[in-house]
Chain A
Amino acid sequence: GENVEQHPSTLSVQEGDSAVIKCTYSDSASNYFPWYKQELGKGPQLIIDIRSNVGEKKDQRIAVTLNKTAKHFSLHITETQPEDSAVYFCAAILSGSARQLTFGSGTQLTVLP
């Protein structure tokens, strides 16, 4: 089955700096890669996603890049703010009829004021 590895597990940045979280996946047939943000005590919330026919996608301060050849994708957050502090999960869809997401192990991002 699909295996998604995510790093780093923790990341601290100064407010205003950029943060980068990286993930690799094993199933070359995976074709959808969402990123989720989980705030304390809440469920994960979709923040951005990318499909396999696209190399990069941006949404304001957040961007995701995908390298299908290398089977890795990354989340980039620019001009970080304290409210960006949360756990971030990458995920990949295992090809199949039920479209089950496989998640990375998460990155705790702390933005220091």
Chain B
Amino acid sequence: NAGVTQTPKFQVLKTGQSMTLQCAQDMNHNSMYWYRQDPGMGLRLIYYSASEGTTDKGEVPNGYNVSRLNKREFSLRLESAAPSQTSVYFCASSEYDRENGYTFGSGTRLTVV
């Protein structure tokens, strides 16, 4: 029972490089989310996907793109990484049609130098 799986766990990028963070869930959840976590700022929503085939911007979408590949997978892409994108990124999933907590992955620690 894996829950939410994120890859990679750690990544170092040079400014301007691109990369994709992968997320997959095996709980048959409809909704998926990408958050970033910075010291003293809690968790801020980057993008979310309420259901397969839809994506929407969250609080801090600039510099990111997402793809909801299928019901299980939701990826986050940095096209041209900047030092300001150094952060810990968390993927989460939840049921759509009833109040419920989110299930989080273990995170990707990204450093942009």
A1 to B41, CA, bound (A): 17
- Indicate if the CB atoms of A98 and B50 lie closer than 8 Å: yes
Contact bitstring A102-113, B, C-beta under 8 A = 1, else 0: 111110000000
A-B contact count (CB 8 A): 60
Interface centre among A1, A44, A97, A103 (most CB of B within 10 A): A44
- If A43-B106, A98-B31, A99-B96 touch, whether A105 touches B42 (CB-CB below 8 Å) is yes
Q: Which of B12-20, B62-70, B71-79, B97-105 lies at the interface?
A: B97-105
Picked from B41, B48, B107, the residue with its CB within 8 Å of the CB of A100 is B48
Q: A99-B31, A99-B99, A103-B44 are in contact. List 11 more A-B contacts (CB 8 A).
A: A43-B92, A43-B106, A44-B43, A46-B103, A89-B42, A89-B43, A98-B56, A99-B94, A100-B58, A101-B45, A105-B42
Chain A residues closer than 8 Å to B45, beta-carbon distance: 100-102
Chain B residues closer than 8 Å to A44, beta-carbon distance: 43, 90, 102, 104
- If A97-B50, A103-B42 touch, whether A34 touches B101 (CB-CB below 8 Å) is yes
Chain A residues closer than 8 Å to B41, beta-carbon distance: 105
Interface centre among B43, B48, B94 (most CB of A within 10 A): B43
- If A98-B56, A100-B48 touch, whether A43 touches B107 (CB-CB below 8 Å) is yes
Picked from B44, B48, B106, the residue with its CB within 8 Å of the CB of A98 is B48
Can you list 25 A-B pairs with a CB-CB distance of less than 8 A?
A: A1-B59, A6-B42, A31-B99, A36-B101, A36-B104, A41-B107, A42-B107, A43-B90, A43-B104, A43-B105, A43-B106, A43-B107, A44-B43, A44-B90, A46-B101, A46-B102, A97-B50, A98-B50, A99-B94, A100-B45, A101-B45, A102-B45, A103-B43, A105-B40, A105-B41
Contact bitstring B22-51, A, C-beta under 8 A = 1, else 0: 000000000101010000111111001010
A51 contacts B by Cβ under 8 Å: yes
Chain B residues closer than 8 Å to A31, beta-carbon distance: 99
